[in-house]
């Protein structure tokens, strides 16, 4: 199954995709993770994208599309994939349509106030990219308890050190939300016209949302 998780930064795309990937036996592909890995290894690609990611902007379409094309040509994508963070612009969506045919696009909806609280509390393993969160958010019907590692500051999966990304600080988060509104929201209309968009209201943690998402894509 070929899926795209669409939604503003902090809506849970990476968290839910990482949980669903093993259940569906398809890879979770994050262009952001690919770029950060290349930055850490100081590859030519990493040096190209570093200036864009550090200020919370978008990497130029031609670079992103080339990376995506190479990634989905690999063997583990034969039965599908879950894209998290791609496409982000109409141009990227059109380019992706030329490369492959999507089965469904899930649009994750969450208010900006909660997004800012969640993102500024996010912690990520610097080694494997596993995501945790130290916030305990309880607002009306919304329940987002913390997603904590068993050992404070260390990843459960690989023991790597947990860190706060530079793009998870409040100032950068607000800038990223503005970029999303201007450049990515038009994708909602694009995929609605193709009749493959499904809206998903984010109301809780992974144990609440994963069954909802599985039902939405017809896998439960």
How far CA 100 is from CA of 7, 21, 93, 162, 186, in Å, comes to 21, 19, 10, 35, 20
Neighbours of 94 (CB within 10 A): 13
Per-residue pLDDT of 64-73, as tens digits, reads 888 898 899 9
Give the domains, in start order, of the chain with CATH numbers: 2-216 (3.40.50.300)
- Catalytic residue, from 48, 127, 165, 198: name it: 165
User: Quick check: helix, strand or coil at residue 100?
Assistant: coil
Q: Is the pLDDT of residue 116 over 80?
A: yes
Q: Judge whether 53 and 35 are in contact, CB under 8 Å.
A: yes
- Catalytic residue, from 2, 117, 122, 123: name it: 122
Mean pLDDT, range 80-89, rounded to an integer: 90
19 classed as catalytic: no
Q: Judge whether 17 and 28 are in contact, CB under 8 Å.
A: yes
The average confidence (pLDDT) of the chain is 90
- Catalytic residue, from 2, 117, 118, 176: name it: 176
Q: Is the pLDDT of residue 156 over 90?
A: yes
- Catalytic residue, from 13, 117, 118, 123: name it: 13
Q: Is the pLDDT of residue 10 over 90?
A: no
Neighbours of 93 (CB within 10 A): 21
165 classed as catalytic: yes
42 classed as catalytic: no
Q: What is the DSSP letter of 153?
A: T
54 classed as catalytic: no
98 classed as catalytic: no
Mean pLDDT, range 83-106, rounded to an integer: 92
What is the spatial distance between Cα 196 and Cα 24, in angstroms, rounded to a whole number? 19
- Catalytic residue, from 2, 19, 36, 88: name it: 88
């Amino acid at each position: 199954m070929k899926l795209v998780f669409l939604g503003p930064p902090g809506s849970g795309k990476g968290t839910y995709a990482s949980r669903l990937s093993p259940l569906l036996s398809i890879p979770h592909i994050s262009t952001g993770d690919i770029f950060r890995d290349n930055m850490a290894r100081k590859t030519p690609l990493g040096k190209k994208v570093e200036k864009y990611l550090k200020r919370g902007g978008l990497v130029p379409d031609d670079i992103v599309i080339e990376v995506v094309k190479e990634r989905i040509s690999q063997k583990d994508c034969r039965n599908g994939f879950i894209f998290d963070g791609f496409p982000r612009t109409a141009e990227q969506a059109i380019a992706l349509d030329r490369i492959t045919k999507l089965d469904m696009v899930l649009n994750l909806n969450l208010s900006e106030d909660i997004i800012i609280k969640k993102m500024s509390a996010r912690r990520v393993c610097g080694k494997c990219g596993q995501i945790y969160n130290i916030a305990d958010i309880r607002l009306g019907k919304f329940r987002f308890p913390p997603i904590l590692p068993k050992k404070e500051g260390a990843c459960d999966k690989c023991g790597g050190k947990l860190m706060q990304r530079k793009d998870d600080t409040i100032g950068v988060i607000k800038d990223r939300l503005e970029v999303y509104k201007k450049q990515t929201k038009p994708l909602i209309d694009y995929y609605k016209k193709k009749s493959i968009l499904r809206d998903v209201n984010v109301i809780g943690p992974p144990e609440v949302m994963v069954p909802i998402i599985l039902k939405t894509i017809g896998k439960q």
